[in-house]
Amino acid sequence: MNTRATEPSQSSQLSQLKKLTTVVADTGDFERMQEFQPQDATTNPSLILKAVQQPNYQALVQKVKAAHPGLKPVDLADYILVAFGLEILKIIPGRVSTEVDAHLSFDTSATIHKAKHLIALYESNGIDRKRVLIKLAGTWEGIQAAKALEAEGIHCNMTLLFSLVQAAACGAVNAKLISPFVGRITDWYKAKLGSGWNDVDHGGANDPGVTSVKRIFYYYKHFGIQTEIMGASFRSTNQILELAGCDLLTISPELLAELQANTNPVSQKLDIAHSTAALAVEHIEQLQLDESHFRLQLNQDAMATEKLAEGIRNFCIDTDKLEALLSTSA
């Protein structure tokens, strides 16, 4: 595989990575993201919960509350999400991702309704819907919601994605973008292997989170799927650099800072030209993607099943915490 360096080593790894991959900031802390000049930005309930508790964002929270007196916390949360998205869009040239309430992950019609509401809030503030990605969980119901929304020009970012079958199903409905979770996959295998895990055999190019995204990348490219792939949920810059060449990578400010401070050369690791050969090595064929086959294949993948369920639970918890905070804050 081609592993050419893109720039002399005196350039930061972040600037080198930007030559190969669209870099996205994964944070609700829009003040901090400015220094890294990302193209896009992603948020989720956990990131927004963290941001609204910071003193420097209290004025924004209070402004939203004052503009919507008497609104229930569950509804006020939508305005908070969009308020942060609007501030982010003042900083970045590209798109912001805003997440639908995870409590709706198994309700297609409610997900569609919520997504349209969020888009309407952005559009009422003069934002073109093309600059917003609605984040939906990679459940069967979420994927069907994405199919309907994409048909109306509302673009979706499919999140909590841990398996090839989820990715393939998202591609089949023409979802705009998927966010396969690297770090959470690695976490699962580390916990499963326990003392049997070692970084020599299971890290670097062999990291299970990294190999999962590579498999999706080559599947998409080989079968001509246009959905964008954005690696997410990184635990280290090493995981990020192993996916240089992916369509997009969404990265926390902490890891963006590490990349900016490092000048070691960055090499392209993912290359479309290798998709056919890569799939042949792993004996991957085009998947059957009707509902029964989707559910069975997901069920057969213990890691993906467990991490999807855990991810939905945790986002529900943080959404509840955000709503509780909005109901009690002055």
Q: Are 4 and 267 in contact (CB under 8 A)?
A: yes
Tell me whether residue 1 is in a domain. no
- Chain center to CA of 108: 20
The whole model's pTM is what?
0.93
* pLDDT on residue 128: 98
Q: Are 167 and 190 in contact (CB under 8 A)?
A: no
Q: Are 80 and 52 in contact (CB under 8 A)?
A: yes
φ/ψ (deg, to 5) at 160: 50, 50
Task: Decide if 135 is catalytic.
Answer: yes
- Nearest alpha-carbon partner for 270 in 244, 232, 294, 247: 244
Range of the domain at 250: 13-325
Tell me whether residue 7 is in a domain. no
Q: Judging by beta carbons within 10 Å of its beta carbon (0-12, 13-18, 19+), is residue 4 exposed, middle or buried?
A: exposed
Backbone torsion region of residue 139, taken as left when φ is above 0, otherwise alpha when ψ lies between -120 and 50, otherwise beta: beta
* pLDDT on residue 8: 45
* pLDDT on residue 95: 98
Amino acid residing at 53 = Q
b/e string for 108-145 if b means 16 or more Cβ within 10 A? bebbbebbeebbebbeeeebebebbbbbbbbbbbbbbb
For 158-170, the pLDDT digits (tens) are 999 999 999 999 9
Q: Are 168 and 126 in contact (CB under 8 A)?
A: no
* pLDDT on residue 6: 44
Return d(Cα 294, Cα 164) in angstroms, integer.
10
Tell me whether residue 299 is in a domain. yes
Q: Judging by beta carbons within 10 Å of its beta carbon (0-12, 13-18, 19+), is residue 86 exposed, middle or buried?
A: middle
Residues of the chain with pLDDT under 50: 1-9, 330
Tell me whether residue 292 is in a domain. yes
Return d(Cα 269, Cα 242) in angstroms, integer.
6
* pLDDT on residue 90: 96
- Helical axes 140-151 vs 164-172, angle rounded to 10°: 30
| CATH classification of the domain holding 23 | 3.20.20.70
* Token pair in block for residue 41: 């930005």
Amino acid residing at 233 = S
> Count of domains in the chain?
1
Catalytic one of 135, 221, 269, 307: 135
What is the percentage of the chain residues whose pLDDT exceeds 70? 97
* pLDDT on residue 10: 78
Q: Are 287 and 168 in contact (CB under 8 A)?
A: yes
Tell me whether residue 57 is in a domain. yes
Return d(Cα 309, Cα 330) in angstroms, integer.
34
For 229-271, the pLDDT digits (tens) are 999 999 999 999 999 999 999 999 999 999 999 999 999 999 8
* pLDDT on residue 329: 56
